[in-house]
């Protein structure tokens, strides 16, 4: 039993802190079978991204916000470790339209209250020293992906 525990601990350490705090990646079939399950396409998209909660959006790696429960509240951007062009996806559902930071540049779509809105955010580094970011925003209610 001790060897099994050591193997589990080694795996957790190798997979990093994200695994230790419960943000482990799930295979598509596991995601599809969770409560409030998604289509196969949604499950595959979530598998490729780190499932993340909250509305403070990081642009450091592929993330899927608003899973398993749609996010609510205002959206903020955290550019720590950001990668220009690294799109993020957030599923958001609220009775009030969320506010976005001034760096948001709406490309298309409108937020619809009290339904699942698919919000796609893509940051672009527009100048350096200091870094200035623009985030292109697309909103859709298309849940078929």
Q: Sign of torsion, CA 120 121 124 126?
A: positive
Q: Can you give the pTM of this predicted structure?
A: 0.66
Question: How confident is the model over 27-80, as pLDDT tens digits?
Answer: 444 444 444 444 555 555 555 788 999 999 999 999 999 988 999 999 999 999
**Strand pairing category for 63-65 and 88-92:** parallel
Residue 117 pairs in a beta bridge with: 92
* Centroid of chain to Cα 133: 18
Give dist(CA 54, CA 72) in Å, integer: 8
Quick check: bond before 20 cis, omega within 30?
Answer: no
């Amino acid at each position: 039993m001790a060897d099994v525990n050591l193997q589990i601990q080694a795996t957790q350490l190798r997979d990093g802190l994200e695994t230790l705090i419960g943000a482990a990646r799930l295979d598509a079939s596991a995601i599809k079978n969770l409560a409030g399950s998604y289509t196969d396409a949604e499950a595959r998209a979530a598998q490729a991204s780190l499932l993340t909660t909250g509305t403070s959006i990081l642009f450091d790696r592929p993330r899927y916000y608003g899973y398993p429960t749609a996010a609510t509240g205002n959206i903020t951007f955290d550019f720590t470790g950001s990668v220009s062009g690294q799109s993020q996806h957030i599923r958001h559902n609220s009775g009030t339209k969320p506010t976005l930071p001034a760096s948001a540049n709406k490309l298309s779509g409108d937020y619809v209250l009290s339904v699942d809105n698919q919000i796609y955010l893509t940051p672009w580094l527009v100048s350096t020293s200091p870094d200035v970011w623009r985030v292109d925003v697309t909103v859709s209610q298309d849940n078929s992906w």
